[in-house]
């Protein structure tokens, strides 16, 4: 089964739309890349690097892009997972697949919660 190309989310979408996207791909999860500067995200790729590429083509800067996984059926406290290979960035002080900076995680959470109602 071929995945549809990632799409950029600039306007809010619903959790039920995310559930549909998840069911078409990984079942209960949607991969996303968030641009913390532009406050947009791309989602729906097979790899976080697919979303990253779409955002870079759209004018995003690499240093502002962070990969996450969304679990739309989970509750507010558990539905965002900060885990992606694109997050491994020693030059920015992030040495793991997670997002190590708590303020950055909070910024990502606010952006995602603003784009998903």
Do 116 and 13 meet the contact criterion of CB atoms below 8 Å apart? yes
Do 111 and 39 meet the contact criterion of CB atoms below 8 Å apart? yes
pLDDT tens-digit map of 42-57: 998 899 999 999 999 9
Do 13 and 42 meet the contact criterion of CB atoms below 8 Å apart? no
> Could you read off the pLDDT tens digit of each residue along the chain, which spans 117 residues?
566 789 999 999 999 999 998 988 888 999 999 999 999 999 988 999 999 999 999 999 999 999 999 999 999 889 999 999 999 999 999 999 999 999 999 999 999 999 999
Q: With H, G, I as helix, E, B as strand and everything else as coil, classify residue 109.
A: helix
Nearest residue to 86 (alpha-carbon basis) of 64, 58, 102: 64
| Structure confidence at residue 2 (pLDDT) | 65
**What percentage of the chain has pLDDT greater than the value 70?**
97
| Structure confidence at residue 1 (pLDDT) | 54
Q: How far apart are CA 92 and CA 48, in angstroms?
A: 18
Cβ atoms < 10 Å from Cβ of 59: 8
Do 43 and 32 meet the contact criterion of CB atoms below 8 Å apart? yes
């Amino acid at each position: 089964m071929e995945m549809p190309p990632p799409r950029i989310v600039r306007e809010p979408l619903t959790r039920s739309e995310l559930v549909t996207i998840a069911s078409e791909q990984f079942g209960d999860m949607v991969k996303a890349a968030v641009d913390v500067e532009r406050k947009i995200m791309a989602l729906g790729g097979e790899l976080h690097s697919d979303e990253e590429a779409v955002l870079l083509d759209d004018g995003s800067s690499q240093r502002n892009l962070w990969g996450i996984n969304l679990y739309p059926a989970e509750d507010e406290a558990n539905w965002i997972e900060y885990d992606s290979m694109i997050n491994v960035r020693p030059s920015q002080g992030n040495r793991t697949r997670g997002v190590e900076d708590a303020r950055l995680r909070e910024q990502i959470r606010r952006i995602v919660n603003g784009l998903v109602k």
